[in-house]
Amino acid sequence: MPTIYPKTLSQTPARILFGLALRKAREEQQLSQEELAERAGLHRTYIGQVERGERNISIDNMEHLAHAVGMQLWEMLRP
Amino acid sequence: MPTIYPKTLSQTPARILFGLALRKAREEQQLSQEELAERAGLHRTYIGQVERGERNISIDNMEHLAHAVGMQLWEMLRP
């Protein structure tokens, strides 16, 4: 059975969408990477890497970060 | 500065939401865990663990699975 993918799927990788949404939310709330890191129980350098899409972040850490910026995770992955 | 979280945030952990959505999509398409695993380049036992919310799955693997069932990742995380 051939695998058929719908043509409407997002072409932007999820880690890029998440990283951009995280940076946008953080900056809108005038939080530094340090402040967000502390809030989410993660490291500052890790936040920067996630924002740039350099990390294959886990679902639990995505959830921690979403809550730390007061968003629902699904909203941060919508193209 | 105190951390204030909105009251409207989902109480259901993201890995549970994703697991339920994955199983629903897979069953609707009458795919076995084996078939989905092959399609997504993952292992069958891993699919079962993800569906039960037992795995702290990475964003890249979530994306592979979403594409394998023809969904957008964000749709699979919406409460």
Domain containing residue A44: CATH number: 1.10.260.40
Q: What's the confidence (pLDDT) of residue B10? A: 52
Q: Per-residue pLDDT tens for B8-44?
A: 555 899 999 999 999 999 999 999 999 999 999 999 9
Interface mutation vs chain B, best among A32, A35, A74, most B CBs within 10 Å: A74
Phi, psi of B72 (to 5 degrees): -85, 145
Residue range(s) defining the domain that contains residue B52: 14-74
Residues of chain B neighbouring A66 (CB-CB closer than 8 A):
14
Q: Is residue A47 part of a domain?
A: yes
Please tell me if residue B4 touches chain A, with a CB cutoff of 8 Å.
yes
Is residue A73 over pLDDT 70? Answer: yes
Q: Is residue B35 part of a domain?
A: yes
Q: Is residue B46 part of a domain?
A: yes
Q: Is residue B27 part of a domain?
A: yes
- Of B64, B45, B65, B56, nearest in space to B14 by CA: B56
Is residue B61 over pLDDT 60? Answer: yes
Please tell me if residue A72 touches chain B, with a CB cutoff of 8 Å.
yes
Q: Is residue A78 part of a domain?
A: no
The string over B49-66, giving b where at least 16 C-beta atoms fall within 10 Å of a residue's C-beta and e elsewhere, is ebbebebebbbebbbbbb
Domain count, chain A: 1
Q: Is residue A65 part of a domain?
A: yes
Q: Show the tokens assigned to B54.
A: 């037992």
Is residue A28 over pLDDT 90? Answer: yes
Q: What's the confidence (pLDDT) of residue A10? A: 52
The answer to whether residues A49 and A68 touch, using CB atoms and an 8 Å cutoff, is no
Is residue A58 over pLDDT 50? Answer: yes
Q: Is residue A59 part of a domain?
A: yes
Q: Is residue B1 part of a domain?
A: no
